[in-house]
Amino acid sequence: MASKLIFVLALAALAIMVVLPLGWLFYTSLQIPDAAQLSFANYVEAFTKSIYLGPIGNSLIVATCVATIAVAVGTPLAWLLARTDVPGRGALRALIVAAFVTPSFLGAQAWMLLAAPNSGWLNKIWVALTHAEHGPLNIYSLAGAIFVMALYNIPYTFTFVYGALELMPAEMENAASILGARSLRRTLSITLPLALPAIIAGFIMSFLEALAEFGTPAFLLIPARQQVVTTQLYLFFQFPQRIELAAAYAMPLILVTALLLFLQRRLIGRRRFTMIGTKGERRRLTPLGRWRWAALGAALIPSLVAVFLPYTALLLTSLSRAWGLGPVPGNLTFYWYRWALVDNATTQSAIVHSFTYGFAAATIALAIAVTIAFAVTRKLVPAGELLTFICMAPFVVPGIILAIGFYSAYSHKPLLLYGTAWILIIAFATRFLPIAYSNMTSALQTLSVDLENAARTLGAGRVRSLFTVTVPLLRSAMLSGWLLVFIPALRELSCAIFLFTPRTAVMTTVIFDFSDAGNFEAVATMGILIMAITLAIVGVSYRLLGRSLVEAQPA
């Protein structure tokens, strides 16, 4: 009985988290303000006006470029670290983790300091060195936004491809060697094609992230006088509010995502990539010879531009009384840290909120993921496919659209969650549920059902055997699943920006608010605080798990 009850609760939570918001989103898109009947008028308006079509084009361009660059850099990087004797592999991976946990809007803010056309530090250095009239970089451009987003998306492809290369049986490549294929040919004809599912997953992940990203375009593309779908959606929320139009406008994003996932299936098609390997085999690392150090240099570039430069810029700015004066001795101060942590009630409560909401969201997402994944993998319920689909559905819905769905569904009775912490907690939990779910599913699949059955033959009930046998065995998978929700929840902006109220501001929305009017010191300080906290958590988790979080499965 207890097992049924828990399962029913999890189902209800799924309905609240996924089904209702998405249903409401669709319903809202058909509504006409002050009219009773439903119609497709919003769709007609959204997709016939050229000012609304332009942003869609821009979004597709940005997403395609970001995903292409992320794959083009992430794949060789993964290959270098997994298959060659490039020096410093451990340190390189740590740097990629640092890039992985950096929210790209923070990177965008840092790159504004570095590469604004005239005032950017890099451009100034260039002008000082070459006496050129202008610096070469302009972060306020489509190219600039693509560059920044690509930087922080490289870790996705890297992680997926690196994982695939690690799991790939050495025999697959040895078979090509013995048939006469040399390193380059082997890599191109065997290794990379075998990593194709991971590469595609990386591409799709980056494409979706870029499509759904709000912060970076808001910071970089408004000055560039370009709109993308997310900034247009934000405008629909401005006065006069057009939530119905926003809902209609959001639909193609979901369609594009669904189309991508369909294409992914088609691409992989009959080539099901199940590979049997024998354990304990030894892999030959490709010796790079005299190219080793050159390769290290190349591998360091993404980290340099994604981590070193931005963090240096943010750190210096956060320690400056006024960033415009530059990092000179008299200008250095801890004023802003004191301001954020002690003097300012808004930032203090935002820090507390970020933590508590992230904590609650991760716990809820994990609880649901464990319950549903358990029920589905153990085939305890009918319609397992459907449940999996529902759990994974938020993956295809960009955060900003999920936020619109949440607002439409929960800003009125009977479930008035808007204005409370719950709407943010549930939104975060929903956004990252797919990560927790796929993590738990793969962990449960590796765990033999016989272990539980053994407990059950000894008289333990299903729930008891779950908690006494399965859960302890899954502890590390559960911890990593929890963290994989907690960390992104800490840095979530695109959902939060639509759902927070004065009493529920979180660190990211506060950063967003400071980002206007040139409060760069405040933004940098809050950014450094978020990152310090996140990296500390990653460090602790590494000790607890004995491995890096980034080795998780692709969603």
Shortest Å, Cβ 383 to another protein: 26
Rounded to the nearest whole angstrom, what is the least distance from the CB of residue 411 to another protein in the complex? 3
Residues of this chain, 139-158, that bind another protein according to CB under 8 A: 140
Select from 3-11, 246-254, 384-392, 509-517 the region that touches another protein (CB under 8 A): 509-517
Q: Which residue, 491, 497, 495, is CA-closest to 535?
A: 491
DSSP type of residue 141: S
Q: Within a 13 Å sphere around the CA of 188, how many CA atoms are in the beta-carbon half?
A: 5
Of the candidate spans 155-163, 208-216, 486-494, 512-520, the one that interacts with another protein by CB under 8 A turns out to be 512-520
Considering only the stretches 79-87, 183-191, 328-336, 377-385, report the one whose residues sit in contact with another protein under the rule CB under 8 A: 183-191
Say whether residue 105 binds another protein (CB under 8 A).
Answer: no
CB of 122 to another protein, least distance (A): 13
| Cβ(436)–Cβ(366) below 8 Å | yes
By the rule CB under 8 A, 130 interacts with another protein: no
Query: By CB under 8 A, is residue 374 in contact with another protein?
Result: no
Residue 320, φ and ψ in degrees, nearest 5 = -100, 140
Alpha-helix residue ranges (DSSP H) falling in 398-551: 399-410, 421-445, 449-457, 462-465, 471-473, 475-490, 496-499, 507-515, 520-545
* Contact status: 131 vs another protein (CB under 8 A): no
Task: Look up residue 342 and give its DSSP letter.
Answer: I
Which residue(s) pair with 320 in the sheet?
A: 332
Task: Find the shortest distance in angstroms from Cβ 125 to another protein.
Answer: 13
Please tell me whether residue 160 binds another protein under the rule CB under 8 A: no
**Applying CB under 8 A, which of residues 4, 338, 412, 475 lies at the interface with another protein?**
412
Name 144's Cβ contacts closer than 8 Å, sequence gap at least 6.
Answer: 111, 115, 137, 138, 220, 224
One-letter amino acid identity for 21? P
Range 515-554, binding another protein (CB under 8 A): 516-520, 522
Contact letters (x/-) for another protein, 266-305, by CB under 8 A? Answer: ----xxxxxxxxx---x-x---------------------
Query: Is residue 332 helix, strand or coil?
Result: strand
**Interacting positions 43-62 with another protein (CB under 8 A):** 51, 54
Q: Which of 169, 252, 327, 384 binds another protein (CB under 8 A)?
A: 169
Task: Check binding of 239 to another protein (CB under 8 A).
Answer: yes
Site for another protein (CB under 8 A): how many residues? 81
| CB contact set of 415 (below 8 Å; sequence gap of 6+) | 16, 20, 409
372, two tokens: 């549903």
**Rule CB under 8 A: is residue 172 a binding residue for another protein?**
yes
Residue appearing with tokens 């802003």: 336
Quick one: tokens of 545? 């798990």
φ and ψ of 335, to 5 deg: -45, -45
Q: Which of residues 311-330 bind another protein (CB under 8 A)?
A: 322-324
CB of 387 to another protein, least distance (A): 22
Among the listed residues 1, 36, 129, 178, the single contact to another protein using CB under 8 A: 178
